[in-house]
Structure 1
C-alpha cells in the first residue's frame, strides 16, 4: 500500500505541533547497535531547523551521538491526539553563552551547580525529516468515519478528519 501522506518543506507546522510538548523521547544507537530511548526536556523551539536540549557531558547519549549522529525524537500529546516524529543529526558541544541563554532554574534538578556547572553540554538536533499526526478527537474521528460510511457506503480515509504530513527539510 502506497503512502499518500502530503510532503512539505515547511517546518513551521511541525514545530507548532511540539511547541508546548516539553518532553521528547530521544532515540540513539547504543554501542551494540541496538536502539536506546530516553526522555529529554526540549528547550523552546526558536524557529530554526534545530531542537536543543541540555545534557550531562558524561551521559551515554553524548558518547552515542559522537559515534553515530543519527537520532530520532518522538513527541506525544495524548490529551490533544498530537504525535510527532523527528529525524535528524545530533551534535553535543559546550557553549557557555548559549547555556546562559537556555538556563532556567528548574534545570538545577539535573545540574545542582547551576548554569555554570562544567558538566552541562548542549545537544542540538538539526532536523532533517519529520512527520506529524493531529486528530481532533477520537470520538469526532469515529463519528465522521461512521457518517461517511452511512452516507456514501465508503470507508473514511484518515485525511477526512486527521491532519497528517511528512516534512522534508532537505
Structure 2
C-alpha cells in the first residue's frame, strides 16, 4: 500500500504521461475533456488552454477527474478556475498541439489560459495483487490488503 507522498508524486507523473482530465464547474452543467498543461514549478495548479467562449471561462468552483492511461490510478480534484492570460505563462506552456486548436497562434482572439488551483483531492491507486485479481475475476472476496491505496489530501505536492 502506497503512502500519501507516493500517491501525490504518482499523480503528477501519470498526468504527464496522459494529461487528459474531465473538468467542470460545480454549480452545474457537464464536465468536459481538456488537456492539462503542467508546470512543475507550480504545485497544486493545472493550466488549460481554452476558448474565451468556453463555459469554464466564467470561472468559479470546479472539479476535475483523472484516470491514468493504465486505468490503475484515479484522482478527484476540487478547487477554483479562473482565466489568467499571463503572457509569460502562455509562452512557457505553448506547444504545437495547442497551436492546432488556435490557428491564430498565441495572438488568436479566442485564446484564453485557464488556471485551476487545487484545494483538495482524493487519490486512488488500484495496486491489486495477483491473488486479488484472480478473486475479482472468479467472484472471490477481496481482502483489504489486496485493494490498493487511497488518500484524501489537502495538497498534491509530494
| Class of the TM-score when normalised by the shorter of the 2 chains | 0.7 to 0.9
Tell me what 2:67 maps to. 76
Pair 1:101 & 2:87 matched: no
> How do 1:46-61 and structure 2 match up within 5 A?
46=40, 47-61=42-56
Query: Residue 114 of structure 1 is aligned with which of 92, 98, 105?
Result: 105
Q: Number of aligned pairs?
A: 150
Q: Is the 2:4–2:151 Cα contact (8 Å) retained in structure 1? A: yes
Partners of 1:12 and 1:118 lie apart in 2 by: 36
Query: Residue 32 of structure 2 is aligned with which of 24, 38, 44?
Result: 38
SS in 2 for 1:79: coil
Tell me what 1:162 maps to. 148
Partners of 1:60 and 1:138 lie apart in 2 by: 42
For structure 2, the 5+ residue unaligned runs are: none
For structure 1, the 5+ residue unaligned runs are: 1-5
Residue by residue, what CA displacement relative to the aligned partner does 1:81-118 show, whole Å, maximum 9, x if unpaired?
11111101111121222111110011122101112223
Structure showing greater Rg: 1
Change (3 A) 1:140 1:37: farther
SS in 2 for 1:106: helix
CA drift of 1:129 comes to 0.7
Q: Is the 2:56–2:81 Cα contact (8 Å) retained in structure 1? A: no
Change (3 A) 1:113 1:137: farther
Structure 1 length normalisation: TM-score?
0.73
Residue by residue, what CA displacement relative to the aligned partner does 1:124-165 show, whole Å, maximum 9, x if unpaired?
11111111111135855334779xx8xxxx8511x5340211
Partners of 1:109 and 1:62 lie apart in 2 by: 20
Structure 2 length normalisation: TM-score?
0.78
Tell me what 2:25 maps to. 28
SS in 2 for 1:34: coil
Change (3 A) 1:37 1:139: farther
Query: Residue 91 of structure 1 is aligned with which of 75, 82, 91?
Result: 82
